Amino acid sequence: MGQHVSRTDFEWTYTEEPHASRRKLILEKYPQIKKLFGCDPQFKWVASAMVLTQLAMLFVIDTDLPTYLEAKLFCTTLGKFFWVCLQPLFYIFRPLVVNPKPPQKLELVNGVIQLAFNTIVVQYFGWKVMVYLIVGSLLAMGLHPVAGHFISEHYMFAKGFETYSYYGPLNWITFNVGYHNEHHDFPAVPGRLLPEVKRIAPEFYDNIPQHTSWTRVLYDFITDPSVGPYARIKRKARGLDS
């Protein structure tokens, strides 16, 4: 079964989360960062092109994929390996268990649109095409280099640091999602402009732990016994004694 993780609980801290305080310091020194706040008007075209490209693949890719065999082979290793592979399901269902909330109106509308779209896909293209879309989504969010960002962002690879940025080439195709410290410090800045935050205020980001490879993140998470699901920093909810 491989090495057992060395942690038996989360990393509890009683300090303030770092992003609000860092945001205040950066804005005091570089107030021009406020000019980066807002929406990215180009993003709607990029997102539309991505969806259309995925739909185009339904016509040009053989959907009778050997993915099931590959998935079975992948499921013969360590527990953390299982966890990485099944991460999409955890991401989907964990909020429903940990913090259930009644669905909002837009969420219901979104669900109806998705069901209608999926029904059309199955009706006109068949179940194999739907399996391709589902398995593709699971792979993209599981054991895939780009999916390393889910783990790289908040799992504690260096003691005391709860958020990490990734500075590597995959930012070019992931809307700069790797600039995660910058995103948490300034959530109003759209992804396209997050590198500008680091360029303007490099002294706040260059000397804190960071990642340069999402593939290495996945490898270290699976093989390093000091890193695992418990390698997260938690805080007591304010106003609660227990």
Residue 239 lies in a domain: no
pLDDT greater than 70 at residue 104: yes
Residue 241 lies in a domain: no
Residue 143 lies in a domain: yes
pLDDT greater than 80 at residue 36: yes
Residue count (the chain):
242
Give the mean pLDDT of 178-198: 94
Residue 130 lies in a domain: yes
pLDDT for 119? 95
Q: Is the dihedral of CA 229, 13, 94, 137 positive or negative?
A: negative
pLDDT for 207? 92
Residue 167, domain extent:
11-234
pLDDT for 102? 87
pLDDT tens for each residue of 189-220: 999 999 999 999 999 999 999 999 999 998 88
Residue 1 lies in a domain: no
Residue 196 lies in a domain: yes
pLDDT greater than 90 at residue 78: no
Residue 109 lies in a domain: yes
Instruction: Output the pTM of the full model.
Output: 0.66
Percent share of the chain, pLDDT over 70:
79
> Which residues, other chains included, contact 156 with Cβ-Cβ below 8 Å and sequence gap of 6+?
11, 162, 227, 231, 232, 233
Residue 103 lies in a domain: yes
pLDDT for 223? 83
Please tell me the total count of domains within the chain: 1
From residue 171, alpha-carbon distances to 154, 167, 168 in Å are: 17, 7, 6
pLDDT for 67? 32
